[in-house]
């Protein structure tokens, strides 16, 4: 038994040595105010964040995070930390978002910067390395952004990843691997994966259409052709409309006054439409012509699409119409298992806040029910109805 315990301890020690947590933020107290920096970029009316667990939670202290507090505002807040690179390693970016205001339009993402970020001048055009997280605006936009900077340009993922849009806490995780593969997880469940080269437009296409190739003039790509032996029947041509045979000239019709009477036109039941010969298989059909492709001379493979040479800061740079989003549990590491372990710890947070929210909703329903005016009793209604055989009393009015 002792040897087994020692083996487990050794494995845990090895695991901790090989794993790196580059930065973690749980906002335990007001110290964030001295570590995070508000932007002072001119021309924007920035909103303020406040530290709170929100209106419903599992633990009032453990569940505290930074919440947007002013409606219709830009938000620009950032934190720098010790620089690191993901060269040759996995990069895991993870955080929680809680849209407890039932968000209608606003961002819930984070931006990742290098050390060149001017925190007091951070704004929407500030260059960043990665932008990741949910964005909601009306029923049409409910997506998870995954945007990478490459050679000075921002590249959006070509896939549509749907985000969570309820009022509870959700965990968003991005994993970028040194083989140029990636994964996106929500609440510790994988919702998308793929290859950076395939799902972004970082590089020009590997193949292009051969500019020298042209479809041969004698290439017949018609699958069918009109039957040359088919002829139109002699009785085919009929007018589309004919005079109504059941119509008769009105008795009061005056030819001199109304002009010569003509019966109204109706659809001809014998009309067969425009004739065309039947189609037959084309004996000269060669199939659809496919434009030949050649290697694109402008394409150069890049095995380091994943690489971020320097990661130094995280920022909340977004716009919200209705405030109330809480950001928390920010994590940068090179080990997905560490991130998943944090996610498992957060399950009790979600369970607790759902329980509290449900109790609040029930209390609100009971309050609304109690505040509704009581319906009149049947006895009161009966008093207003005259007894059978008697007329209802007539109100007296002053004579004019």
Q: Which residues are annotated as a binding site for an alpha-D-glucoside?
A: 109, 111, 128, 135, 317
Rounded Cα gap, residues 130 and 165, in angstroms: 22
Report the sign of the C-alpha dihedral through residues 135, 136, 140, 142, in that order: positive
Q: Which residues pair with 266 in a beta bridge?
A: 242
| Residues 93, 332 contacting (CB under 8 angstroms) | yes
Question: Residues with Cβ < 8 Å from 53, sequence gap 6 or more?
Answer: 59, 60, 61, 62, 63, 64, 65, 326
| Residues 323, 69 contacting (CB under 8 angstroms) | yes
How does DSSP assign 89-134, residue by residue? S-EEEEEEEEETT--SEEE--EEEE-TT--GGG--TTS--SEEEEE
> What are the φ and ψ backbone dihedral angles of 66, each rounded to 5 degrees?
-90, 125
| Residues 37, 76 contacting (CB under 8 angstroms) | no
Rounded Cα gap, residues 177 and 24, in angstroms: 20
Which residue's entry shows tokens 């830009």?
Answer: 74
CB-CB neighbours of 198 under 10 Å: 10
| Residues 329, 171 contacting (CB under 8 angstroms) | yes
Express the helix, strand and coil content of the chain in percent, nearest 5 each. 20, 30, 50
| Residues 337, 90 contacting (CB under 8 angstroms) | no
Rounded Cα gap, residues 247 and 263, in angstroms: 6
In the annotated binding site, the residues are 109, 111, 128, 135, 317
Rounded Cα gap, residues 135 and 148, in angstroms: 16
Task: Give the per-residue SS3 of 341-391.
Answer: HHHHHHHHHHHHHHHHHHHHHHHHHHHHHHHCCCCCCHHHHHHCCCCCCCC
Rounded Cα gap, residues 173 and 186, in angstroms: 6
């Amino acid at each position: 038994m002792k040897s087994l315990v020692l083996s487990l301890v050794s494995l845990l020690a090895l695991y901790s040595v090989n794993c790196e947590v580059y930065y973690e933020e749980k906002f335990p107290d007001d110290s964030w105010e001295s570590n995070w920096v508000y932007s002072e970029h001119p021309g924007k009316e920035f909103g303020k964040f406040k530290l709170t667990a929100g209106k419903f939670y599992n633990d009032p202290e453990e569940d505290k995070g930074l919440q947007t507090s002013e409606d219709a505002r830009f938000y620009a807040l950032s934190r720098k930390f010790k620089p690191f690179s993901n060269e040759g390693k996995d990069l895991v970016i993870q955080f929680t978002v809680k849209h407890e205001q039932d968000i209608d339009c606003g961002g819930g993402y984070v931006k990742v910067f290098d050390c060149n970020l001017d925190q007091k001048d951070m704004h929407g055009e500030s260059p960043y390395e990665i932008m990741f997280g949910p964005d909601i605006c009306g029923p049409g936009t409910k997506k998870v952004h995954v945007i990478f900077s490459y050679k000075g340009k921002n590249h959006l993922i070509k896939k549509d990843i749907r985000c969570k849009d309820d009022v509870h806490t959700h965990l968003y995780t991005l994993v970028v691997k040194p083989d140029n593969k990636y994964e996106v997880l929500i609440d510790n469940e994988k919702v998308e994966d793929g290859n950076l080269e395939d799902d972004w437009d970082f590089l020009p296409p590997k193949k292009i259409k051969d500019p020298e190739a042209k479809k041969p003039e004698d290439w017949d790509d018609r699958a069918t052709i009109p039957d040359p032996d088919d002829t139109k029947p002699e009785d085919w041509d009929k007018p589309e409309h004919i005079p109504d045979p059941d119509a008769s000239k009105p008795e009061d019709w005056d030819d001199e006054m109304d002009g010569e009477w003509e019966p109204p036109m109706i659809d001809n039941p014998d009309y067969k439409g425009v004739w065309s010969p039947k189609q037959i298989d084309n004996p000269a059909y060669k199939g659809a012509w496919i434009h030949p492709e050649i290697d694109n001379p402008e394409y150069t493979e890049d095995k380091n699409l994943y690489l971020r040479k320097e990661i130094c800061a995280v920022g909340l740079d977004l716009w919200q119409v209705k405030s109330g989003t809480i950001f928390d549990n920010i994590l940068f590491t090179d080990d997905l298992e560490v991130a998943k372990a944090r996610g498992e710890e957060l399950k009790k947070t979600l369970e607790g806040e759902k329980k509290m929210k449900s109790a609040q909703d029930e209390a609100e329903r009971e309050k609304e029910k109690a505040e509704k005016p009581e319906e009149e009793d049947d006895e009161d209604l009966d008093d207003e109805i005259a007894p059978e055989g008697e007329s209802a009393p007539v109100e007296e009015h002053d004579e004019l």
